[in-house]
Amino acid sequence: MDTKDRTILALLQNDADMPLADIAARVHLSPTPCWRRIQKLRDAGVIRKQVALCDAQQLNVGVTVFVSVRTREHTQAWLDRFSEGVKDIPEVVELYRMSGEVDYLLRVVVPDIAAYDGVYKRLIRIADLHDVSSSFAMEQLKYTTALPLDYVR
């Protein structure tokens, strides 16, 4: 991956709707070779998909909750049951298996505490959980979906 590819990725991460001609001009290529580079990045799986980023406040899911989960059971069957169950809860927008004292970390978006309580009740029905701890975000200080490109080899 060269400088042109990284610049293309930076432009697309900032605005996936940017016209091809504009991207090509910014990387000093004609549109066809630029399009080929973008296709190559897609084919290689570097660009997984293009999506619309929606405003959580306008969709009435402006409350972000970070949920830490600890379990006593560490089997593949438990993990499969838990992760599949969590995938069926649309308010859970991210799920991570963690190292350290917390086993799983979820990011949940809801309109209010009452809606979170409903998510919590669905969550505890999925699998046996040892401890569930919820932290409500007071203010979002940084949010981006753009990945750093300085580490690309």
pLDDT tens per residue, range 18-74: 999 999 999 999 999 999 999 999 999 999 999 999 999 999 999 999 999 999 999
pLDDT at 100: 96
**Looking at the 3D structure of the chain, how many domains does it have?**
2
pLDDT at 153: 83
Q: Are 79 and 46 in contact (CB under 8 A)?
A: no
Distance CA 104, CA 75 (A): 14
> Does 75 share its domain with 108?
yes
* pLDDT of 116 over the 90 cut: yes
Mean predicted confidence (pLDDT) in 110-127: 97
> Does 71 share its domain with 129?
yes
80: helix, strand or coil: helix
* pLDDT of 17 over the 90 cut: yes
**144 within some domain:** no
pLDDT at 95: 98
> Does 27 share its domain with 72?
no
**How do residues 82-110 score in pLDDT, each as one tens digit?**
999 999 999 999 999 999 999 999 999 99
Strands (DSSP E) found in the chain: 63-70, 92-97, 104-110, 131-136
pLDDT at 121: 97
| Residue 18, strand partner residues | none
Q: Are 47 and 37 in contact (CB under 8 A)?
A: no
* pLDDT of 148 over the 90 cut: yes
Q: Is 34 exposed, middle or buried (0-12, 13-18, 19+ CB in 10 A)?
A: buried
Give the predicted TM-score (pTM) of the model.
Answer: 0.90
Count CB atoms within 10 A of the CB of residue 27.
18
pLDDT at 84: 97
Q: What range defines the domain where residue 14 resides? A: 3-43
> Does 129 share its domain with 67?
yes
Distance CA 2, CA 101 (A): 40
Closest CA to 92 of 84, 100, 80, 101: 84
